[in-house]
A and B are shown apart, each in its own frame.
Chain A
Amino acid sequence: MILEVKNFSKQYQGQPVKAVDDISFAIDSGEIVGFIGPNGAGKSTTIKAIVGINSIDSGEIYVDGLDFSKYTIEAKQKMGYVPDEALPFDNVTGRELVHFVASMYDVSNEDRDARLVDLAKLFDMTGVLDKLIKSYSHGMKQKIAVIAALIHNPKLWILDEPLTGLDPNSAYNLKQLMHKHCEDGNSVFFSSHVLEVVEKLCDRVILINKAEIILDCTIDELKKKQKDLTLEEFFIKVTKEHNEFLEKAKKDDLSVEQNENAEKKESEAIEKPTKEEI
């Protein structure tokens, strides 16, 4: 297993509910796994915990067999992360950013130069590598973030909305790259809102809703469950059912609590001796 998440929970300070509640999943070598869910479901929280931005309240994360909490640096060496927001480094050139990241991953000068040439060519960034990132369009900033994340050829790619802002050519090239990466025995774990891409690209899909994983299956299994529905319709149906289930559970808990309180009051009233008895 390239990635194992076991009973992971996370609750932000001051928030009444957990952002992620006791989720578990695993990714095997050679898999492309899509991570989908509505806004605020817990996707980014999960991804940020895997890559080390957020702390882990409870649970364990293993990257290529390494316990993340104990072997953090070694685990990070095996991952490449593309965030969903643009990198805040407008005053450096694309080349300087990539070289910096390569230095952090101990990539040799020869390797980084060779890979940079290849990746820049693939994403049509060759002519702008020596320009400041602030002059890049949104798509170009996304591309340079992808290049920086892949410069050390990590085993596991963690991509948060990687296709946002990419032109069709670059999006196609990235998808092809993902395929090739997995064919070489590596893995990709990415979140996306574009369900058609997830459907076509992924081997497996994990659906998270309101801090819980409600679906974790292969694409073939998903298609059987979908029946006549499109993925979008299926997604909406499943999340709606889950929301209704949670509402009902909340009401049941409330009524159970109310019943318990009522019983308690009743038993107290019975036990309390009357004045006549005294």
Chain B
Amino acid sequence: MVNKRKLNRMLALVKFHFLTSMQGADNKKNKKRKDDLLGADTAFASESIAKRIFKYFAAIFFSFIFVAVMLAIQGYGSAQMALAQGVFAENLTVMMLAMLLMSTMFGLLMYSNVMYYDKKADFLNVLPISKDEIFWSKFAFLYVNQAPVAMILFLPLAYASAAGAKLGAGSYFILTIIPFFIPLISLFVSTIISLPLNYIVSKVKKKEFTKNLILGIFSALMLIPVIVFMIFSGGGGEEEEQMANIQASMQGVIRKAAYVAYPIYAFVKAALFMEGSGMMVLYTLIIFIAITIITIVLSKLLYAKASTNLEDVVVAKKMKQEKKPVKGKLAVLVKREEKRLLKLPGNSINIIIGMLMPFFMIVPSMFSVVKEAGGIANIYKIAIASGLTNTVSSVSMGMYFFAIAMAVVYVNISFTVPMSSEHRVGIDYLLSLPISLEELVKAKFITNLKFSLLFNIPIMLFFLAMAPILKLAFIFLLINGALVSLASISIIYLVDLSKPYLDWTNVAEIRQKFRANIPLMIGLLIAMLQLPIALPIAIFTFQIFHSYAILYLVITVFNVILFLIPFLLLKKNYKKYIARLQA
């Protein structure tokens, strides 16, 4: 009887964690007038819990499906060759390790917030439930929350690789088991990371900012092995023989790397029914028991010590009596927006990921180019010897436009809800001040554009370093980077201003809404479209004319059109959207 009560309480707690982390369910019953796109926001009838859960997981699905499909295609493509070389298990394991790092990276912020920095803490502490019960309910919630992410990331890759290697039904079954223990590994890694994180955050004054910054750094560090893997598995790309040679030389590295993800390696080998895999699975179970115990013990210790007070400590600062000129309103608003954006949870991580993402695209092809030329020094020698003309390969030229577009899109994830993230209370407060909404929107637009262009500098510098002589290309690269930024930001504002979501509790919930992902999806489409346009034109026109002029022209015109469409739509409806916000 007591156990049944405890179980019911635990289930109620886990359910409550889900309910409070899901987006609000809008009132669909009220018929909206055609021009009343703001919707009836005075009273929301609740959708059923099942519907809310469905929408919650649908949002997760759409967030990860793109990456999952990309990797699945790569898995399918490399399966046959890897099998022939006898490194299929190792190859698949390393790819899955990359996915594990990605899923851990995405789950890290949620883990930290739910486990140690939960805003529900005071409320839960009052209830007649032990800290143990609260802890276990959070643990269960995090596991169940991570499981779909693991499914989406791992299963397409696993099945596509199995299909590519023409494995049997039994292999598919064993591979299906892998995503079920991935969340546990992610929780283990997150717990280990939380040890230094919580310690540092407890010592500083700006806790929220420090926490987000450290999480961003750790997330970026987790991406490094993924980038390294992309270098070694991508290689030269174009020629099968070249790829096979590179992969053959990397076999040793891949075999060693597979042991880093021993549990995954064991199950992948078991899926191939390889000799010795049975013992490996047994060791894996022992490892899992150990990981689980360590995770639980450490998490409990950290949970007991965790402070939920994340408010910045108010420190009386001495104001400098400097005679500074009074800044214009726009400058003040821009400054405000910069600080606000960097403080939003998850933004610092998204910005770091956005900065690193284009390296995924560029590094593999640049690596092979450098290798072919015999080193970076030789590239410079060749460029100088050819009279300082553009000696970048046509593939790299085409890839760059794609990479810069992807960089813009990923950095702009941080800016997808510029008005919504202010909240109704924030907007009302700003409206009470002597500033107009137009000034506010303008300041936000400028800030977003500034960040979007600024954070693409690392990839541009990298490209310049690898391909030193660009001349006119450099100007067109800058122009197109700016055009894609403008297009992406215009889409963001068009979507958010047309239907802002201003009544939220946790800013993370507005990112979970499907609408918030529309700019990302369109942005990805814009980025993907760069490749089939830029790459063939680069290759063919350079072959014929020994010049990229046509490429520059075509891609620039294309990006101008892509920018003008959302921008003109936004300009046309701008006054209407602003008037609605003020209503």
**Chain A interface residues toward B at CB < 8 A:** 14, 48, 51-53, 72-74, 76-77, 79, 81, 83, 87-93, 96, 99-101, 103-106, 128, 130-132, 134-135
Contacts and interface: CB of A to CB of B under 8 A. Distances in A.
Contacts of B505: 88-91, 134
B119 interface: yes
Interface in B338-367: none
Nearest to B26: A132
Contacts of B122: 48, 53, 83
Contacts of B42: 135
Interface of B: 5, 8-9, 12-13, 15-16, 19-25, 41-46, 49, 119-120, 122-123, 125-130, 313, 503-506, 509
A73 B129 contact: yes
Looking at B16, B22, B506, the one whose CB has the most chain A CB atoms below 10 A away is B16
B45 A134 contact: no
B12 A103 contact: yes
A235 to B, nearest CB: 27
14 contacts: A48-B122, A52-B125, A53-B125, A76-B128, A88-B120, A88-B123, A90-B503, A90-B504, A90-B505, A91-B19, A100-B19, A104-B127, A131-B46, A134-B44
* Most chain B C-beta atoms within 10 Å of own C-beta, residue among A14, A53, A77: A53
Q: Lowest 10 CB-CB distances: which A-B pairs, in order?
A: A90-B505, A103-B12, A76-B128, A104-B127, A77-B128, A93-B46, A92-B19, A73-B128, A100-B16, A135-B44
B127 A101 contact: yes
A90 B46 contact: no
Contacts of A72: 130
A52 B45 contact: no
A90 to B, nearest CB: 4
Contacts of A74: 128
A91 B504 CA distance: 8
Contact of B126 (A81, A88, A90, A96): A81
Contact of A132 (B9, B25, B49, B128): B25
Contacts of B128: 73-74, 76-77, 104-105
A89 B44 contact: no
Contacts of B20: 89, 91-92
Nearest to A14: B313
Contacts of A101: 127
B127 A132 contact: no
A74 B25 CA distance: 36
Contacts of A79: 126
B477 to A, nearest CB: 44
B45 A91 contact: no
A245 B46 CA distance: 56
A104 B46 contact: no
Given A91-B505, A134-B504, A105 B127 contact: yes
B44 A132 contact: yes
B8 A134 contact: no
Given A76-B128, A101-B127, A104-B129, A134 B12 contact: no
Contacts of B24: 90-91, 132, 134
Contacts of B9: 103-104, 106
B45 A130 contact: yes
Given A100-B12, A103-B9, A51 B126 contact: yes
Contacts of A89: 20, 120, 123, 505
A81 B119 CA distance: 17
Given A90-B505, A101-B127, A131 B12 contact: no
B84 to A, nearest CB: 52
A258 to B, nearest CB: 27
Nearest to B25: A132
Nearest to B23: A91
A247 to B, nearest CB: 21
A156 to B, nearest CB: 13
Given A51-B126, A52-B126, A81-B126, A131 B16 contact: no
A134 B19 contact: no
Given A90-B503, A104-B128, 11 more contacts: A72-B130, A74-B128, A79-B126, A89-B20, A89-B120, A89-B123, A90-B24, A91-B19, A92-B19, A103-B8, A105-B127
A78 to B, nearest CB: 9
B25 A73 contact: no
A122 B24 CA distance: 27
Given A89-B505, A90-B24, A131 B44 contact: yes
Nearest to B424: A134
Contacts of A93: 46
Contacts of B45: 130-131
A89 B15 CA distance: 13
Contacts of B127: 76, 101, 104-105
A72 B128 CA distance: 8
A81 B128 CA distance: 11
A100 B13 CA distance: 8
Of the candidates B15, B41, B42, B313, the one having the most CB atoms from chain A within 10 angstroms of its own CB is B15
A88 B12 contact: no
Nearest to B509: A91
Nearest to B129: A104
A135 B25 CA distance: 11
Nearest to A48: B122
A83 B121 CA distance: 13
Most buried by B among A48, A51, A103: A103
Contacts of A73: 128-130
A80 to B, nearest CB: 9
B131 to A, nearest CB: 9
Contacts of A51: 125-126
Nearest to A73: B128
Contacts of A104: 9, 12-13, 127-129
A89 B46 CA distance: 14
Contacts of A88: 119-120, 123, 505-506
Contacts of B504: 90, 134
A142 B23 CA distance: 22
A212 B210 CA distance: 36
A51 B8 CA distance: 23
Contacts of A77: 128
A92 B41 CA distance: 16
B15 to A, nearest CB: 8
Contacts of A131: 43-46
Contacts of A92: 16, 19-20
B42 to A, nearest CB: 7
Contacts of A52: 125-126
A7 B220 CA distance: 50
A87 B122 CA distance: 10
A76 B126 contact: yes
B176 to A, nearest CB: 32
A92 B304 CA distance: 27
A106 B5 contact: yes
